Chains A and B, each alone.
Chain A
Amino acid sequence: MSTILELQGVTKAYDQYTVVDNFNLQVTMGELRCLLGPNGAGKTTTMDLITGRQKMTSGKVIFNGRNISGMTEHRIVQQGIGRKFQIPAVFKDLTVRDNLQVAFTRTTNPFMNMVEFGRGGGRARLQEVVELVGLEKRLDELGGNLSHGETQWLEIGMVLTQNPKLLLMDEPTAGMTEQETQKTSEIFNRLKGEHTLIVVEHDMTFVREIADIITLMHLGKTLAEGPMDEVENNPKVREVYLGTEGISDAA
């Protein structure tokens, strides 16, 4: 199995403190990796550094055999990385249909898109995604009128429409009902293999359902890594979370 994403000594430091500290990560093609850790452990920052949203202080990100550190955000995305934000972000004044159409990026060139009138390409993909996330009946609704759960679905749908090799999901089930969460885990389980996913999540039931390998972050570093059971029984983890119910409580 080949490595699709590799972080080498990635560091993000502000004047006084270091948010991500010499962090290393290797993700295998087709894997679903969960990134856990308490608030401030550096999970979202790590995603920011991978996608170029923040500039790293030092270190290297290798994606698909290519050094992507220092590239602008849209270039990184074009390499095949999709991202769902922690606070769900959709285009509020566009319909669900248009949201998904914008996400279907056969070309990102403005001049090419001037002569693209939405016919042909992408129809099958949109149909597929819409059914997957269950927004068939909401296609003409404005993004801003969706419920919280639907907004999450739409953003997941947009990232799927992009069809990236690597999907970064920042808290995809936040604000979802139990059934919705259940459905999300089904989808994620279907996606892995074909896609590679990195998921930041706090819902441990959900993590148990989907994760192959867990990376537990603490103060910007890897505290433990491995399958769920192994991480839970790791003495270092027990030490850090002494007196609590373990990582489920911390997360």
Chain B
Amino acid sequence: MSVHDFWTPFALEPFISALIIGLSLASIWLVAALGLTIIYGTMGVINMAHGEFIMLGAYITWVLQYFLGFPWLLCLPISFVIVAFIGWLVERGLIRHLYDRPLDTLLATWGVSLVFIQSIRLIFGGEPQYIDTPEFLSNVVQIGFLNIPSMRIFIFGMALVLVGLTWALLYKSNFGIQVRSVMQNPQMAASFVINSSRVYGLTFAYGAGLAGISGSMFSGLKTIFPDMGLGYVVEAFLVVVTGGGELFGSLATAGIMGEMFSVFSYFTNDTFARFVLFVLIVIFLRFRPQGIFTPSMARR
């Protein structure tokens, strides 16, 4: 492997393609990280089973389509509802008992993820499954010299829609006011007759539902298999932590990470780009552990 193989010289058109791929990648990471952002940002819970919520969303889509013949687009909202319900159950049964032990939540949700992966493997087998997407999402759109799969455009659009909806829910709705007041001061919120345990349950369910819908979308992009969640969850965590658990922090971080990854991998290769990106994030968090937007806080 010579230097020449390793280092791709600059050329305008492929570089612009790389930037577009970066945007697409950013939207995928953002969609994967969205539910995690809500759960981490409002509840401080590190949910290691998030990748498995994505996986469940994908399998629900596959089951609905393969066994019941549902059209793909209809599967998205159904995945949202079912996975949200599963998330709600997990919160009820396990996570609510661990709110004062954040590290244990991380571990317990890893246990949950193990159970989900292996249950799916037991039921559906370990082999990859494929999904049919509608005609208009299976072709490639040509803009100038760029060939962009329409599925990627769809996911990009959906990412923006989901961010918008989540923003409206958190900052414009009555529920959002409750979530934010519970977040800031649970005791005070309780004195205003906000049922914080209900709010936590619903917030977790919503975050899980977002993972479900992202799993549905990813099923149109890649094959699905029981441990597919791991492929998304590390990047999703980095987006969330670097973004400080804030909605727009995640948006910005996903954008920057996607573009940086794509540009690095244009010049070098995917693996090296990922390595450099991870190392940069570790160094970034060394200096700004509170994330990109959150103002620096006084020490304890």
A and B touch in the complex (CB under 8 A): yes
| A54 sits at the interface (CB 8 A) | yes
| B286 sits at the interface (CB 8 A) | no
Query: What are 4 A-B residue pairs whose CB atoms fall within 8 Å in the complex?
Result: A14-B298, A53-B299, A54-B298, A54-B299
A189 to chain B, nearest CB (A): 33
Contacts of B298 in A (CB 8 A): 14, 54
Instruction: List 4 tightest A-B contacts by C-beta distance, closest first.
Output: A54-B298, A54-B299, A53-B299, A14-B298
Contacts of A14 in B (CB 8 A): 298
B98 to chain A, nearest CB (A): 19
Contacts of B299 in A (CB 8 A): 53-54
A34 to chain B, nearest CB (A): 26
A67 to chain B, nearest CB (A): 21
Name which residue of chain A comes closest to B298, CB basis.
Answer: A54
B-facing residues in A1-55 (Cβ within 8 Å): 14, 53-54
Q: Which residues of B come within 8 Å of A, CB atoms?
A: 298-299
B101 to chain A, nearest CB (A): 14
Q: Mark A48-87, 1 if CB is under 8 A from B, else 0.
A: 0000011000000000000000000000000000000000
B199 to chain A, nearest CB (A): 28
Interface of A is mostly: loop
B141 to chain A, nearest CB (A): 48
Name which residue of chain A comes closest to B300, CB basis.
Answer: A53
A5 to B299 Cα, complex, angstroms: 24
Name which residue of chain B comes closest to A73, CB basis.
Answer: B299
A53 to B299 Cα, complex, angstroms: 7
A54 to B300 Cα, complex, angstroms: 8
A241 to chain B, nearest CB (A): 29
Contacts of A53 in B (CB 8 A): 299
A54 to B299 Cα, complex, angstroms: 6
A206 to chain B, nearest CB (A): 27
Name which residue of chain B comes closest to A53, CB basis.
Answer: B299
A54 to B297 Cα, complex, angstroms: 11
A14 to B299 Cα, complex, angstroms: 13
A54 to B298 Cα, complex, angstroms: 7
B99 to chain A, nearest CB (A): 19
B-facing residues in A108-140 (Cβ within 8 Å): none
Name which residue of chain B comes closest to A45, CB basis.
Answer: B298
A204 to B243 Cα, complex, angstroms: 48
A187 to B299 Cα, complex, angstroms: 32
B297 to chain A, nearest CB (A): 10
Contacts of A54 in B (CB 8 A): 298-299
A70 to chain B, nearest CB (A): 14
A37 to B79 Cα, complex, angstroms: 59
A44 to chain B, nearest CB (A): 12
A223 to B198 Cα, complex, angstroms: 49
A14 to B298 Cα, complex, angstroms: 9
A224 to B28 Cα, complex, angstroms: 63
A189 to B15 Cα, complex, angstroms: 76
A66 to B261 Cα, complex, angstroms: 49
A151 to B257 Cα, complex, angstroms: 48
A53 to B300 Cα, complex, angstroms: 8
A86 to B51 Cα, complex, angstroms: 42
A228 to B267 Cα, complex, angstroms: 74
A14 to B295 Cα, complex, angstroms: 12
A194 to B284 Cα, complex, angstroms: 47
B-facing residues in A135-182 (Cβ within 8 Å): none
A111 to B299 Cα, complex, angstroms: 28
B287 to chain A, nearest CB (A): 15
